[in-house]
Amino acid sequence: MQTKIDWVTVLLYAVILIFGWLNIYAACYDEAHAAVFDFSTLHGKEMMWIGASLVIALIITLIDPHIFSSTAYLIYFAVIGLLILTLFIGDTTNGGTSWIKIGSFKFQASEFAKFATALALAKYMSTLDLDYKQIRTKIIAWAIILFPAGIIILQHDTGSALVFASFLLPLYREGMSAKILVIGLVAVVLFVLALLMEKIWVIAIIGGLALIALFYLFVWLNKRTMKHYIWVTALFLICTAYVFSVDLAFEKVLQPHQRERIDVLLGKADKETSKTGTGYNVYQSKLAIGSGGLIGKGFLNGTITKADFVPEQETDFIFCTVGEEWGFVGSTLLILAYIALLLRLVRLAERQYSKFSRFYGYSVAGILFIHILINIGMVLGLLPVIGIPLPFFSYGGSSLMAFTILLFIFLRQDQERTNLI
């Protein structure tokens, strides 16, 4: 039995797409090229990409949804092939080698690796009688994730590689231990604290927490076995060692520009670096957004975004235009639209009958979520600068088409959910 496609999701997709195009139009607006269908301009090209994406979406809704699971590995390895090919024949821009150039077209395989990995992982995780607890299962699952991510790191596109962390979300939903998430969170918090504060204070905090834990164990739970004391002490020592190794990791592992970005974010960089050096993008981005006020300066009236102060303002920094021209009201509505889309995807995923579809649905939500989190977090100065696009919004054919494919494969499965068991 076939049901209707989920119109709520399609509507949210359309709203975000149209609003995105308007902002690209504003970001690259100049009076000489104001025509909507001027294909020499970015907004004209984006119009073309939107058209192509809609055609792809339409095609996807017409094909048999069984194909996605049956060809998952095929698609996955095809994309892996493209990624490797990119390494060899790719075009090098800004230190990264992530584009394949075909004539005047540029193609970014890493964008397509996201849905391909989602398909392959969903396929593997929905294998009949798979035992999640087995080490072998875990290794294979992580290999599926880290293989493309590793190649993308070799292309020097750390941002795109980071996106693969989004698979933690479907894995978590399917029963992965929550400990790994908690440990990850603690590691991040300690990392930031270690950079911001004197080490001794961080250790004092950890020590304090350890004492509270001991007290809790001792007095309330009355568990006075040696095992618990050893656990607490070991955790304390590990955390302390971690805190002291943060500096080393910071200096040795991260590249200088990455270190500076983190310094700028944490407010540790000097004024010059924050405003005109490494922090220039974010400073301008914050100026643009912050100056938007409650209702914004109005469509095409942005002063910062209209004057090329923000680099990459059609792509990674497109949110600046929203903030500046549409103000708090417009920005909030966009964020609410994204959150609504994510919540809708969770709802759709939960109503799937097949594990493959549910896992894939959560993968879609996870991938979109991490993009939104990192992109908007970056332009608002909450996260370090990591160049990844805002889904359905940033300028770019590859990303728009890849996100559309990602989303509509899921919508197609949702439409046929009763036939996919």
Partner 1 sequence: MRNQYQERSTVIRIIFLTVGLIFIVRLAFMQVFDGEYRRLADNQALRPITQYPGRGLIYDRNGELLVYNEAVYDLMVIPKMVKNLDTNLFCNVVGITRDEFLTRMKKAKKYSTYAASIFMKQVSKEEYGAWQNHLYKFHGFYVQQRTLRVYDKPIAAHVLGYVGEVNQSDLDNDKYYKQGDYIGKSGLEKSYEEVLRGIKGKHIMHVDVHNREIGHYMNGALDTMAIEGGNLYTTLDAELQEYAEGIMANKRGCIVAIEPATGEVLAMVSAPGYDPNLLVGRVRGKNYLKLDSDENKPMLNRALIGQYPPGSIFKVAQAMIALDLGVITPQTGFVCDKSLVGCHNHPSARSVQEAIKMSCNPYFYQVYRRIIQQGKYKNIYKDAQYGLTVWHDYMLRFGFGQKLPIDLPRGGMSSGNIPDTAFYNNKRWYGRDKWAFSTIYSNSIGQGEVTVVPLQMANLACIVANRGYYITPHLVRYFGPDSTKNEEYYEKHETGIKPAYFEIAVNGMYDVVHGAGGTAHKANIPDIDVCGKTGTAQNSGDDHSVFISFAPKNNPKIAVAVYVENARGGGGTWAAPIASLVIEKYIRGEVTRKDFERMYREAAPCQKIKKKK
Residues forming the site for partner 1 (CB under 8 A): 31, 169, 172-175, 276, 286-294, 298, 301, 303-304, 306-309, 323, 327-328, 331-332, 335-336, 338-339, 342-343, 346, 349-350, 355, 362, 365, 369, 372-373, 376-377, 380, 382
Nearest to 277 by CA among 387, 268, 324, 314: 268
d(CA 321, CA 304): 9
Cβ distance to partner 1 smaller for residue 261 or 371: 371
Q: Least Å distance between CB 201 and partner 1?
A: 25
Cβ distance to partner 1 smaller for residue 53 or 331: 331
What one-character-per-residue DSSP string does 29-76 give? --GGG--TT-TTSHHHHHHHHHHHHHHHHHHHHHS-THHHHHTHHHHH
Cβ distance to partner 1 smaller for residue 258 or 291: 291
Taking a C-beta distance cutoff of 8 angstroms, is the pair 114, 83 a contact?
no
Q: 404 — phi, psi (to 5°)?
A: -65, -45
How crowded is residue 273: how many other Cβ atoms within 10 Å of its Cβ? 16
Q: Least Å distance between CB 23 and partner 1?
A: 16
d(CA 210, CA 192): 19
Q: What's 165's DSSP letter? A: G
Buried b / exposed e over 357-378, threshold 16 CB at 10 Å, is: bbbbbbbbbbbbbbbbebbbeb
Q: Least Å distance between CB 221 and partner 1?
A: 25
What one-character-per-residue DSSP string does 236-294 give? HHHHHHHHHHHHHHHHHTS-HHHHHHHHHHTT-S-HHHHHTSTTHHHHHHHHHHHTTTT
Q: Least Å distance between CB 103 and partner 1?
A: 32
Q: Least Å distance between CB 328 and partner 1?
A: 4
Cβ distance to partner 1 smaller for residue 31 or 198: 31
Place of tokens 């039995």: 1
Q: Least Å distance between CB 290 and partner 1?
A: 3
Q: Least Å distance between CB 366 and partner 1?
A: 9
Tokens of 383: 């996260």
Cβ distance to partner 1 smaller for residue 247 or 350: 350
Q: Least Å distance between CB 323 and partner 1?
A: 7
Cβ distance to partner 1 smaller for residue 288 or 402: 288
Cβ distance to partner 1 smaller for residue 99 or 167: 167
Q: Least Å distance between CB 68 and partner 1?
A: 20
d(CA 180, CA 185): 9
Cβ distance to partner 1 smaller for residue 92 or 303: 303
d(CA 137, CA 343): 29
Q: Least Å distance between CB 136 and partner 1?
A: 20
Cβ distance to partner 1 smaller for residue 177 or 245: 177
Cβ distance to partner 1 smaller for residue 98 or 166: 166
d(CA 208, CA 253): 30
Nearest to 322 by CA among 338, 305, 336: 305
Taking a C-beta distance cutoff of 8 angstroms, is the pair 417, 3 a contact?
yes
The β-bridge partners of 274 are: none
